[in-house]
Structure 1
Amino acid sequence: MEQFHVIGAGGIGLAVATSLYKAGKQVLLIENNPEKIAFCKAHGAIVDKQSFPIKIEAFENWAPCPNVVNILCVKCYNNDEILKKTNDQSLLFPIQNGFDELLTSRPLIGEGIASFISECRPQKTIAAITRSGKLHLGPIQPWTKMPLLFELKSALRQGGIDSHLVAWSLPYKNTKLMYNAAISPLTSAGGFENSELLKPGKLRTLFFQLLLENHAILKASNQPMGTIGPFHPDKVAWLLTHKWVGESMAPFFRPSLKKTYCSMFHDVMGGVTEIENYNGYLSRLAKTSKSPSPLNDLALKVITQMASERSTGNAYWLNAILDAF
């Protein structure tokens, strides 16, 4: 496992590409933004103020190669175009947050779930790690393709990413969904950074209720969950149901979310988001398990409307959720 194509020169893609490069691997970035491509050719891929001379190629000119691992660091709504260029022999490894049933129906070598935050400047291949965390790597089916994943984990860790090999990716992906499907729609609707969710008030109460609804849907659907951060999701749910405990702990977690933004925050202005892969997926799970999902249904409706209008987050959209709550 010596050659890698990293598809998507955003925050996560740049962090992964530079880590593999530092580990001595052959890395090619794939991107569809002409300004990013030109910047990378002129200045390299820059992460935490360190530049790396990584080659970059336009997506329209890219074709997968045999024995080259293709790491998908793009939004779920970009997957269709990638899958049109690949086949069942292509070595695909997504690092994504949302659930895309079409992608996971392919014979992937595994997937990664990132709990660190890497934010990229618009139109440039410049990223900064704004919150440290781990990268969990695991197979789609438990305990399969472990040798390949061990090689990838070792390379990423050698390059500086805190990577951990797990027996199954799904528990960690479900946990990340539980958090993302609460953080993303609320901060995108309001147009503010993630830490605002933990300020005392009605918004924080809504945030906690959405987390609890997400947890309940996953439990009712018999979905496994893993530990990301200090607590397992079951413990988080217990803390939130004991209101005074959750509220007393919020100030300790708020600093870690300062100056961080979810990617959906910017996507709504472009007219397309991953809301169907977050809250839409949970709403579909809820219908199957006959679990209530009023907050997810509302978040899905509001963000879909925002994207159709290419609107920025503001008090109007946030109140559309808060008032119904």
Structure 2
Amino acid sequence: MNERRDATTGTAEPMAGGGRMDCATEATETFLAHRNLLFTVAYEMLGSAADAEDVLQETWLRWVKVDVGQVHDQRAYLVRIATRRSLDRLRTMKRRKEAYVGPWLPEPLLTAPDVAEDVELAESVSMALMLVLETLSPTERAVFVLREVFDVGYEEIAAAVAKTPATVRQIAHRARRHVDARRPREVVSPGQARAAVESFQRALETRDLQSLLDVLAPEVVLVSDGGGVKQAAPRPIIGAGKVARMIVGGLGKAQVALTSESTVVNGNPALLLRVDGEIDGVIAIRVEDARITGLYYVRNPEKLTRIAFETPLTLK
């Protein structure tokens, strides 16, 4: 009996008829070839791995209904479907985020070393930039991600967001200016980032206030996301003194056994924190000029499901 493979689950299903099998096989192989790209597009637009997976499912269901033999550029067509599904979901997510308890952070992803080595990819999925993208409208975010991150042409973007190429150019210019005014100033070398993170890790575990002050930039920002489930600061904390005192004071009051483990989240350095042996959360860390300028602490358990295994990401 002939089989076709379900691109979303990897399971095989029986099929009858050679023509149908050939078409389904081509559709499946094409989807699987671009699956990591489609996930990356959806994740950068949504900041949620769970929602990105839903977009992949919706994209697959739409794709299998297409006569793939008539599609000139299958990659572009798949990206177009994923973008439209992501735009629909972005508008729904806006209402969810408005009702969210405390600051909202993107869902952290454990990523492979090759993501960290790809400077462009690592920057595009960093917590710092993802938070800047949150300040864009859904259409602006889609246009920015497709143009600036994935280098998609204006004609293709126009087809994906249902705008004219001229309008897309205007949106891209506006979004780029908005992001450039808010994005982190520079990208440091992996070695500089590791050194800063190691210093922060030692200071954190020893609860050394002065060592924390030494590694934190004066304008450092700490954002914590508990989702109403775990305790977190109700708003961002700004300034080295305030951040250091909150960390040391909070650990002192809690009187817990804190351990940390270096990891890579969203292509950037991070620490996996355990309290009394249990996973408490992940701190993604932004380093600029050898000092830490951003700490993004995700404690919401619902957002910690993707730190147990690596998520493949790609711009191609």
Structure 1-normalised TM-score?
Answer: 0.28
Could you say which structure has the greater relative contact order, defined with CA pairs below 8 angstroms and 6 or more residues apart? 2
Q: Which has the larger radius of gyration?
A: 2
Structure 2-normalised TM-score?
Answer: 0.29
